Structure 1
Amino acid sequence: MKALVKAKAEPGLWLADVPEPVLGPGEVLIKVLRTGICGTDLHIRAYDGWARQAVRTPLVLGHEFVGDVVDVAPGVTGISPGDRVSGEGHLVCGTCRNCLAGRRHLCRSTVGLGIGRDGAFAEYVTLPAANVWVHRVPVDPDVAAIFDPFGNAVHTALSFPLVGEDVLITGAGPIGIMAAAVARHAGARNVVITDVSPYRLRLAERVGVSLAVDVRTSGVEEGKRALGLREGFDVGLEMSGRPEALRTMVANMTHGGKIALLGLPSEEFPVDVARVVTSMITLKGIYGREMYETWYAMSVLLEGGLDLSPVITGRYPYQDFEEAFDEAAGGRCGKVILDWTA
């Protein structure tokens, strides 16, 4: 079968013929239809410092996907050939304290699909049945392909109650924009998003943010005044990993405000902890999705009319992966999709 492979320990990706995956005990074999390109895939393609530590070649990339079930191992129940499915890309041990307590998203032995084992940038992929999410209600294949990052957005946005609250989101990448759409849909009063990319700020406006702030030319304080906020933001969603973004967020929270942190910084940086303490601000780290409460929430949000179509801005046949990756790396885009049926 065809697959996108990190074949060598150097920058680049290769479209190669590789053996079809063999169905193992408790696993499901899936014919891949669409895949989404993630920032992680860009790091692996560039073979930066993180990728050199995290991956071993050869490796089939990809963890954002949708496909149709082809076969299931003996004993697998609840999943049948023909089912339309996405996959939870965090494979957990099932035996540690957190897994046994139902907190699988906190497993310390997590293995990443397309990072620690061959992934979904291929014509076929296998996954443990416990990692397969069956779409019981029809979902657009492009949207189903990005359930993984959509889950990051939902997990972050729904970490704290949003009804009637004023929300500040720093970072208008695809996940930040999806989080803005979720916050709006979930009943936030005002949703303000910040970035330095005019393209992505315009994209955020399409999902209904109250205000999109280009922090190169304007400040969050001006945004607060424009919206008539007297006491600051109730909820913050930090999606950028940028030190200046988190410091600005902390400075503009109301007393008792709550911040969910998804953005990964490239290095350590100082934060005004005195402000966090004296304003009694809650900081909560977010990683991945809650298995499977977040997945239920995602499906219900879409059934309830949440529209993610503005976030998807690029679609390519998998043979044109170089152009697709270049667009995704360029920053003037939302989510970029590869079509594996072409």
Structure 2
Amino acid sequence: MKALVKTAAEPGLELTDVPEPSVGPGDVLIKVKQTGICGTDLHIHGWDDWAASHVQAPLVVGHEFSGVVVEIGSSVTDVAVGDVVSGEGHLVCGRCRNCRAGRRHLCINTRGIGVQLDGAFAEYVALPSQNAWVHTTPIGFDVAAIFDPFGNAVHTALAFPMLGEDVLVTGAGPIGILAAMVSKHAGARNVVISDLSEQRLALASSLGVDLALDARTAKPQDAHDQLGMTEGFDVGLEMSGSPVALRDMISSMTHGGRIAVLGLPADEISIDFATVVLNMLTIKGIYGREMFETWYAMSVLLQSGLDISGVITDRFDHTDYEQAFAAARSGHGGKVIMNWES
């Protein structure tokens, strides 16, 4: 089968032939339909320090995908051939303290497809049946392909109650915009988003945020007068990994404000902990998705009318992967999708 492979410890990927994955007793084989490009994939493609320390070539990359089940293992009873699925790309051990307590998203032995294990930028991918999320209501393969990043957004946005709150989202990448949309759908009063890209701010505005701020010329506090806010933000969602964004967020929160942090910084960040203490702020780190509570929330959000298709702005055939990666790396669009249907 054809797959995008990190063939050597150097920049770039290669579309090449690899063996079709085998299916164990508890696994399913999925015919991949569409895939989404993630920031992790950009790191691996560019072969930066993070990739060099986490990835061992050769490796089939990619972890955001949708497809159709074409084969099931002998012990699989919860997934059937023909099911339309997305995939939870974090594979957990099932034996550590958190796994055995039902907190699988906190597994200390987590491995990721497309990072430690062969991934989904391929014609077929195999994974444990429990990691296949079956879509029981009709859903497009493009939207199903971005359930992984959608889950990151949902996990972050629903970390704290949203109803009636004023929310600040720093970082208008695809996940930041998705988090803003979830916040609004969950009942937030005002949702403000900030970024450096005019195109992404325009996209966020078109998808329903109340105010989009250019971080080069505006501060979060500027939203107060424009939206009639009398105090600071109740909830902050830091999605950018920017030290400046986090510090600005902390200074703009109301007393008792709550911050969920998904954005990964490149280096250590210094913050004003006196403000955190004196204003009694809560800062919570977020990684991946809760397995599988977040997945239930994602499906219910779509069933209740949330339309996330507008976050997808670029579509390419998998053979045009270099153009697709260039579009994702530009930092100005929304989600980039690659089609794997032959």
The TM tier, using the shorter chain, reads over 0.9
* Distance in 2 (alpha carbons) for counterparts of 1:86 and 1:309: 15
Which structure 2 residues correspond to residues 1-342 of structure 1 after superposition, within 5 A?
1-342=1-342
Instruction: State the shift of 1:17 in Å.
Output: 0.5
Instruction: State the shift of 1:25 in Å.
Output: 2.5
Instruction: State the shift of 1:133 in Å.
Output: 0.5
Helix, strand or coil: the match of 1:313? strand
Aligned residues of 1:180 and 1:207 also touching (Cα < 8 A): no
Instruction: State the shift of 1:229 in Å.
Output: 1.0
Instruction: State the shift of 1:44 in Å.
Output: 0.3
* Distance in 2 (alpha carbons) for counterparts of 1:60 and 1:178: 27
* Distance in 1 (alpha carbons) for counterparts of 2:121 and 2:215: 36
Helix, strand or coil: the match of 1:235? strand
* Distance in 2 (alpha carbons) for counterparts of 1:317 and 1:43: 21
* Distance in 1 (alpha carbons) for counterparts of 2:291 and 2:185: 22
Deviations 1:155-208 (A, max 9, x none): 000000000000000000000000000001111000000001000000100111
Helix, strand or coil: the match of 1:161? coil
Deviations 1:32-59 (A, max 9, x none): 0000000000000000000000100100
* Distance in 1 (alpha carbons) for counterparts of 2:55 and 2:251: 38
* Distance in 1 (alpha carbons) for counterparts of 2:305 and 2:131: 26
Helix, strand or coil: the match of 1:220? coil
* Distance in 2 (alpha carbons) for counterparts of 1:228 and 1:325: 41
* Distance in 1 (alpha carbons) for counterparts of 2:177 and 2:203: 8
Identity across matched positions, percent: 65
**How does the TM-score come out when normalised to structure 1?**
0.99
Deviations 1:256-301 (A, max 9, x none): 1000000000010111111000100001000000000000000000
* Distance in 2 (alpha carbons) for counterparts of 1:238 and 1:259: 7
* Distance in 2 (alpha carbons) for counterparts of 1:334 and 1:153: 14
Deviations 1:51-107 (A, max 9, x none): 000100100001000000011101111100000001101000000000001000000
Instruction: State the shift of 1:219 in Å.
Output: 1.8
Higher mean displacement: 73-82 or 222-231: 222-231
Structure 2 unaligned segments of length 5 or more: list them: none
**How does the TM-score come out when normalised to structure 2?**
0.99
Helix, strand or coil: the match of 2:221? helix
Aligned residues of 2:219 and 2:248 also touching (Cα < 8 A): no
* Distance in 2 (alpha carbons) for counterparts of 1:100 and 1:33: 34
RMSD: 0.6
Helix, strand or coil: the match of 1:191? strand
Once superposed, which parts of structure 1, at least 4 consecutive aligned residues long, lie more than 4 Å away? none
